[in-house]
Amino acid sequence: MKSKRSLSLLWKMLIWLLLHLALLALVVISLGAWHFHSGLDVLLRGSAGDRLRASGEQIGSQLRELPRSQWEPVMKAFAEEHGVACDIWMPHGDWATHTISEVPEEVKERLNRDRPPPPPQRPQHYESDRRPPPPDRPERLGPPGENRPPPRDAFVQRDPMGPDDRTMPPREPSGPQRVNEFQPARPIFFLADKKQDAYWAAVHVPMQARSGPDHVVWLIRSESLSANGLLFDITPWVIGAVSLLLFSILFWVPFALSITRYVAKLKQATDHIADGHFDVNLDTRRSDELGSLGAAISGMAARIDHLLKGQKRFLGDVAHELCSPLARLRTGLGILETRLPETEQSRLAAIEEEATELAELIDEILVFSRATVGMQQVRGKEIALRDLVEEVRAREASELAIELEIDPAVTVLADTKLLKRAIGNVLRNAVRYAGEQAHIRIQAIAEAGTVCLAIIDDGPGVPESEIAHLFEPFYRPDTARTRETGGVGLGLTIVRSCVEACGGKVSARNHPPKGFCVEMTLPATSA
């Protein structure tokens, strides 16, 4: 029960922590949703842009190898893989596959507005820009007639770094040349269409072809923000949220455990005080409210212990002081009995009965005072339990047929005098309340390191609401407050003091279907 209560407090603190984290997560999600719906282009600067760029390169490499009539299977395969719809928008405004039936005006506006610029062209080459032919070689000095220029084919012009001019391939015709063959794919935009509840992304894909368009725009439509991780990968967000949750739990758990552990100690101390033990030891070094509470409980236990000990000493002193006048009173009654006539003997007998009852009350108070004031746990010795119980039975209830269920080999560690007093009080109570015809059964059950001695009668039992008070001093159930049964309510209190001094525990319960049971748990001797 104690562990369940401490765990319930821990769960309440953890639930409070989770609610706090859930509120923070709700705020973050709301801000993120507002940010995403107001403009998703910011995602293109991160991993979403890298994924679209890589996918655009992959799509472009496939489309460049195929004619336009075979582009549609490529689009369908990609769409099925990622759960999206996609199409190719040509520079002149036409669609390659017409896979997407309806394109919002906002998307069309972005396509026209963010259309990539035409690729740069190389400058025109004119005839005057060609390299001039090499000048004629200078005339040789020599005889007349030898200084004429040589024929044009007398020398073969050679390229200093390559083959003959006559063997070089012809130049490509001058004109505009494509220079976008080294340009990568580039994401253009990423937006949310609130009317269709869809998300649109566009990627500029260079074609790098000698014929056809220089570039195309790859348009993607998705019903979800993620698109199977293509547009938005939620995994990092989940990992971050889980990491934040784990970090918060690891941060809060030591604090929660320190509180619950100290609360459990406080609960254990209060239970200890409720059982009549006031030697509580609580850590009062804490500087918070729990430390103040622990100090208050320790001080309260010390004051209660002092008051109860004073009360018990007072009772013992009063009982001891009453012994002398009571003894003189009984002596005087004995002398008076010999001198009174027979007609007055009945009155004298009534007075002697009252004096005897008063003497028994004083004796019980003295026993209670000696058993509870200053009694500490004694060092027990090995006792054969069956032999001790038979000795007590012969003294207290020899006229009753008591059933013994005790193994002769069972031994306990206890003080012989205290254990006899405890068992004798329980037997007297059983005879008093169950009657002289009661059936009493005494059994001993050996458990792990302990022996449970149970004394069971077939009497009327005790109301359940009063069982918890039976071991309190001077407490008697209402059914016991009769002149015939007697008793002052100290018998079970003395039983508890004796058993606890032997290092054991005592408890009481009703025994169905009819009867009452007192159980004494005593330490067993080691095997």
Cα-Cα-Cα-Cα dihedral sign, residues 373, 379, 384, 387: negative
pLDDT the model gives residue 521: 92
Overall pTM > 0.85: no
CA neighbours closer than 13 Å in the CB half-sphere of residue 226: 8
User: Mean pLDDT over all residues of the chain?
Assistant: 75
pLDDT the model gives residue 454: 93
CA neighbours closer than 13 Å in the CB half-sphere of residue 31: 5
pLDDT the model gives residue 472: 79
pLDDT the model gives residue 128: 46
For domain 39-116+182-233, say whether CATH 1.10.3430 is its number. Answer: no
For Cα atoms 261, 263, 268, give the angle at the middle one, nearest 5 degrees. 95
Whether 39-116+182-233 and 286-374 share one fold: the answer is no
pLDDT the model gives residue 492: 84
pLDDT digit string (tens) for 28-44?
Answer: 677 666 655 556 777 77
Alpha-carbon gap, residue 7 to 366, rounded angstroms: 45
pLDDT the model gives residue 365: 72
For Cα atoms 403, 405, 459, give the angle at the middle one, nearest 5 degrees. 45
pLDDT digit string (tens) for 172-218?
Answer: 444 444 444 457 888 888 888 877 788 888 898 888 655 567 788 88
Give phi and psi for 476, each to the nearest 5: -135, 140
Contact 195, 230 (CB under 8 A): no
CA 87 to chain centre: 50
Alpha-carbon gap, residue 489 to 501, rounded angstroms: 20
Pairing assessment for the beta strands 505-510 and 440-446 based on DSSP bridges: unpaired
- What contacts 424, CB < 8 A, 6 or more positions away? 392, 395, 396
Q: What is the pLDDT along the chain (527 residues), one digit of tens a residue?
A: 444 544 566 676 777 777 777 777 777 677 666 655 556 777 777 788 888 888 888 888 888 888 888 888 888 888 888 888 888 888 777 788 888 878 888 888 888 887 655 555 545 444 444 455 555 544 444 444 444 555 544 444 444 434 444 444 444 444 444 444 457 888 888 888 877 788 888 898 888 655 567 788 888 888 887 787 788 777 777 787 778 778 777 877 787 788 888 888 888 888 888 877 788 888 777 777 888 888 888 888 888 888 877 777 777 777 777 777 878 887 887 887 777 787 777 877 888 878 887 787 777 777 666 666 555 566 778 889 999 999 988 888 777 778 889 988 899 998 888 888 889 888 888 888 877 778 889 999 988 889 999 999 888 888 888 888 888 777 776 554 444 555 567 778 888 888 888 888 999 999 888 889 999 999 988 65
CB-based burial, 487-514: b 16+ in 10 Å, e otherwise: bbbbbbbbbbbbbbbbbbebbbbbbeee
Find the helix or strand (DSSP H, E) in which 527 lies: none
Find the helix or strand (DSSP H, E) in which 276 lies: none
pLDDT the model gives residue 31: 66
- Structurally, at CATH architecture level, domain 286-374 sits in Orthogonal Bundle (1.10)
For domain 381-523, say whether CATH 3.30.565.10 is its number. Answer: yes
Taking the domains of the chain in order of start, what are their residue ranges? 39-116+182-233, 286-374, 381-523
pLDDT the model gives residue 333: 79
pLDDT the model gives residue 164: 43
Contact 193, 200 (CB under 8 A): yes
